[in-house]
Amino acid sequence: MIRELESQGVVSKTHSPFNSPIWPVRKSDGEWRLTVDYRALNKVTPPLSAAVPDMLELQYELESKVAKWYATINIANAFFSIPLAAECRPPFAFTWRGVQYTWNRLPQGWKHSPTICHRLIQTALEKREKIIQILLEAGFAIKQSKVKGPAREIQFLGVKWQDGQRRIPIEVINKITAMFPPTSKKETQAFLGAIGFWRMHIPEYSQIVSPLYLVTHKKNDFHWGPEQQQTSAQIKQEIAHAVALGPVRMGPEVKNVLYSVAGKVKWCNGLLKTILKALGGGTFKNWEIKLAKATWLVDAQGLSPNLSP
């Protein structure tokens, strides 16, 4: 792997007073990615204004657009497309089999690599409309096998997008439903991590999984009892039959569902529009957070008569 990178000019032999340990990572296709443990370097690296997009914001933006067709473009080895100035290379040195190397291109593992890469791509995309041609002209290589679409459904950010809605991919559902009962706190935390990403698809998620969180507390001994087993089975069923999520649509023929914290479900027309107007503007994410705090707008019988808490 290092020889291949050296032949491509991505790394080169060096003599540097700096050195960090290598940390190879196996990719999903079984191949290895050479990364370096730059935690010590990251600690002393001056801060840089982050420009990496928030994944949740991107998902909300996709949900807000009712699209029938999608396409994604995967940039092959994006970091390696960005050259490092010679004077910046010594701090990124690492050693393999007694030989010291450093990166000639932007390395993976350094905390500012994603920000620098994203900024350069954004600059390239702002210039013209022909995305692939622009990226090629900017020096980025496009992996044709990973260019997906246009298609009616596509997977992006780990989420399946279809008909303007986000859905849980079938392979994720299969993986979660096939998971064995945890035998330790660590395995329980891993299970919660796997299902937690999809919590927006599960009404009353926090209440359902609360018995699982109990066994992860430091003060508690691990005990996987009948309550935890029942909860595990229930949440797997919820994941397997999770609803798709899409943007809020208005109109006399549209019925929206609002789940209150108490678990009451109300069918209503124009309710969310009324709530948003009462809470003020903001992004989809911001008003969703506000909406979670606004349960006083709905009581056991329906809408409250006014919009004051």
Domains and CATH numbers, the chain: 2-53+74-145 (3.10.10.10), 170-240 (3.30.70), 256-303 (no CATH)
Tens-digit pLDDT profile for residues 115-170: 888 888 877 766 555 777 777 788 887 776 776 666 777 777 788 887 778 888 88
Worst-scoring range by mean pLDDT, 230-234, 263-267, 295-299?
295-299
Q: Could you write out the DSSP letters of every residue in 61-80?
A: HHHTS--S-EEE-PEETTGG
Look at the pTM and tell me if it is higher than 0.85: no
For the cut 50, the answer to whether the pLDDT of residue 198 exceeds it is: yes
User: Quick check: 5 and 79 in contact, CB under 8 A?
Assistant: no
DSSP H or E run through 256? strand 256-259
Residue 95 to residue 92: CA distance in whole angstroms: 10
Q: Which of 99, 238, 81, 253 is nearest to 173 (CA)?
A: 238
Are residues 20 and 94 in contact, defined by beta-carbon separation less than 8 angstroms? yes
In Å, how far from its chain's centre is CA 262? 29
Strand residue runs (E) in 104-163: 141-142, 148-151, 153-156, 159-162
- What is the percent of the chain where pLDDT is above 70? 72
The set of residues, in sequence order, having a beta carbon less than 8 Å from that of 231 and lying 6+ positions away, is 208, 209, 211, 212
pLDDT digits (tens, 9 = 90+) for 40-75: 999 999 988 766 666 777 777 777 776 677 777 778
- Whole-number Å distance between alpha carbons of 148 and 130: 16
**Cα 175 to Cα 177: distance, rounded to the nearest angstrom:** 6
- Residue 21 and residue 43: Cα distance in Å, rounded? 15
